[in-house]
Structure 1
């Protein structure tokens, strides 16, 4: 009697038996490019086409995989189908790669050998992890995927969430059993918007799987597109934890710089000069004070804290750091008010121009931008605030900030300029020209430290910085 094995049964059997070659490293360091695997013929579906998922889809397509880009947002998919980059980090011609198809049709997930989920994981109003997008994606994927599929989560989660939240949701929606009928892995995203030197192929990719064979399969898959190599984590929980602590470390160190800045302000000591002096020591870490916005640093500590508290651990240091960084918008607003007072301005009659409304330099993303909090605090004192950002969409700014927005940059008639986000487009600004357009006795509040204090003094501007 001859046994006929279907493609999906064969695919599941190959992954379970580990027929994908992988060189291992006894030191646990990143693996360099390994064998070229036959899965170049595999179909990969990326669920969620934001700043993480879209570059990932493009990366696989450029490596000759067939890629399905799936998203529930009709507007996003329509623009991608028109060949328009929706992230600002890719070129339109990359979006138009013939190996990618963009769709809102969930039934196409059935065609995929690998499904990579890259959906948002925000926190709720009580600073608790909101995994609703993951659960929704898992329900959609589970209801459509074939047996033998490997599902890889890239969204940031707390340790244990892949096993405790994603996997049960996949099993319930599919009626299949993880580890037998389908397979689960986790690979934390390390996307850095507006950083051309640290793209997908340039940064070591941490990978993990629910067992050794799945780990080998997932590692080989990612190794085929990441020039920097992969780091196989010994468990999914290790991979999940490494992602959150990468950003917790940054949050804690920035909080220290911010707390020092506030202390030095009261001592009338220039923070930047102190940091430059301290930086001459070989092991001093160069962190600078500033507003901490975005989708990672202000969020990931709460994910870890949620899991730690479940185990009876109170992560005091990281939560205190969060409080320090969350206090910075008010501190920046207070610096602005002090500068206006030094210029003998009446607050209710003052006009302030905010330069840069996005959450970081050279991106147009205003979501999770702490500049909005600065603006709100200034308005509490009836200060008239306007904004300008050459990267962000003006209509979106007006909706989110309820702010008068300049279509082109003009300093005319303002009492102060507040530089909150140091876009490269601002590098050519001459302070003498700024001072000439501003009202008499005007101020420059330079959050990012982009200008020299001496240049501001020469332009007869009252200068404040963190």
Structure 2
């Protein structure tokens, strides 16, 4: 098997690099020098790989041939000996909800400088249909001086990593593949078949593969927006949304989606990539964007509901203290990307409620850097205590063991976003 470089060593790139490292030499490239040093010392802050796996995979140096194994690097020169490059860098949105391709373009320019005849560049980062061939390939040609589909080739195989999921992992999820020519498409498909136990699906074109990724998460976003809108309606009706969903769920073909805050690296971002392409082509995607609007409104709804419940219980809102349990975008996972708990915190503070957040899974430094928020420790919470409101935002297993009486006032509002607390102590659920 050819030597592989995986560009980006985050939630997607690291598991991919380690899977290929069992079969060939893999350079895991990342621009974060601290991250590279941690990985080479067996430390993975994303918790997707343990120290034993990382250290046992480090079986070669970049100067040797004919071995297999993994090494992390931030040196561009270490990429020159590779012949297959897999790009897994972030593709976020900007403040206007437009695709931010700067990380992707930067990685592509870097690869263009080391690209050689016969090399293949495979993109896994989420993009809109056409991005690989229309945005990335011209950069590769310009930087390398090589001709696309003559001197070098491209492919697209959308990532399907589910952070924190130890059951549905990289190798157990079917992989969509594609290539810029029929022969390259087959080569890329065979490459992934080596590591993907669930098998592969070879798409007929790169654009089809790109579109398949965009609609996977747009579909989930729209479905969740539907039940979130139901929650807004049923709150006005005066009935519990989860009771309604439990009753409706007795029908064999009812889809079991739950209401909630929709953040994370995919569901809250990918629909905007599809919408961006649609608008470029003169079509306004009503359903996709309306779903985004509903899901983005949930944090404000929860904050206003908490305040109304406080008023109903004669709890003074201005100067009150609220505790939010969790800031990661999902339970038992350290990933804070695009968390909507930040919006919830902002909304509560706007009402004059002093709001603390506690999360044993999240990195304090990362939360401070990304959102300007200081996480509380459970020790801080127990000592400062006396909260007027508690919001279960993320159902980490540590939170399920908590006794709220230890840090709440006698009169307290409890809002259970996740529907995991004893209903006897809950004032409202989403």
Once the two structures are overlaid, the 10-residue window that deviates more, 224-233 or 117-126, is: 117-126
Shifted more, 350-359 versus 242-251: the winner is 350-359
Say whether the 8 Å CA contact 2:119–2:152 is kept in structure 1. Answer: yes
Q: Distance in 2 between matches of 1:417 and 1:283?
A: 35
Report how far residue 288 of structure 1 moved: 0.5
Q: In the alignment, which of 242, 259, 266 is matched to residue 296 of structure 1?
A: 266
Taking the aligned partners of 1:403 and 1:365, their CA distance within structure 2 comes to 16
Question: How far apart, in 1, do the equivalents of 2:375 and 2:222 lie?
Answer: 34
Retained in 2: the 8 A contact 1:353–1:385?
Answer: yes
Aligned to 1:81: 40
* Partner residue in 1 for 2:348: 378
State whether structure 2 residue 423 is matched by structure 1 residue 464. no
Counterparts of 1:103-182 in structure 2, within 5 Å, are 103-182=73-152
Larger radius of gyration: 1
TM-score, structure 1 length as denominator?
Answer: 0.87
Deviations 1:137-183 (A, max 9, x none): 11111111221111100000000001001111111111111111111
Aligned pairs (5 A) from 1:348-359: 348-359=318-329
Q: Of the candidates 405, 420, 432, which is equivalent to residue 376 of structure 2? A: 405
TM-score by length of 2: 0.94
Q: Give the deviation of 1:383 after TM superposition.
A: 0.9
5+ unaligned residues in a row in structure 1: which ranges?
A: 1-38, 457-461
SS of residue matched to 1:336: helix
* 1:59 matches 2:19: yes
Shift in alpha-carbon separation, 1:66–1:402, aligned structure 2, 3 A? same
Contact 1:112/1:145 (8 A) holds in 2: no
* Most deviating of 95-104 and 201-210: 95-104
- Out of 220, 225, 241, the residue aligned to residue 211 of structure 2 is 241
* Mapping for residues 297-446 of structure 1, pairs under 5 Å: 297-399=267-369, 400-403=371-374, 405-408=376-379, 410=382, 412-429=385-402, 433-435=403-405, 437-446=407-416
Q: Aligned equivalents of 1:229 and 1:257: distance in 2?
A: 33
CA contact (8 A) 2:360 2:377 kept: no
Residue 91 of structure 1 and its aligned partner are, at CA, apart by: 1.0
| Partner SS, residue 427 of structure 2 | strand
The answer to whether the aligner puts 1:49 opposite 2:9 as a matched pair is yes
Please, which moves more after superposition, 331-340 or 197-206?
331-340
Task: For residue 463 of structure 1, report the CA deviation from its aligned partner.
Answer: 1.1
User: Which string of whole-angstrom CA distances, capped at 9 and with x for unpartnered residues, describes residues 277-329 of structure 1?
Assistant: 00000000011100000111111111111111122111101100100001011
Counterpart of 1:217 in structure 2 is 187
Displacement of 1:404? 5.5
Q: Deviations over 1:357-399 (max 9, x none)?
A: 1111111122311001111111112211112101011233344
* 1:4 matched residue in structure 2: none
Q: Which residue of 1 aligns with 2:66?
A: none
Whether the 8 Å contact between 1:435 and 1:442 is mirrored in structure 2 is: no
Q: SS where residue 441 of structure 1 aligns? A: strand
* C-alpha distance in structure 1 between counterparts of 2:406 and 2:38, whole Å: 43
Quick one: distance in 1 between partners of 2:104 and 2:366?
26
**Cα distance in 1 between the residues matched to 2:216 and 2:133:** 21
| 1-structure distance, mates of 2:375, 2:25 | 45
User: C-alpha distance in 1, partners of 2:324/2:232?
Assistant: 21
Alignment of 1:18-29 (within 5 A): none
Q: Distance in 1 between matches of 2:173 and 2:394?
A: 25
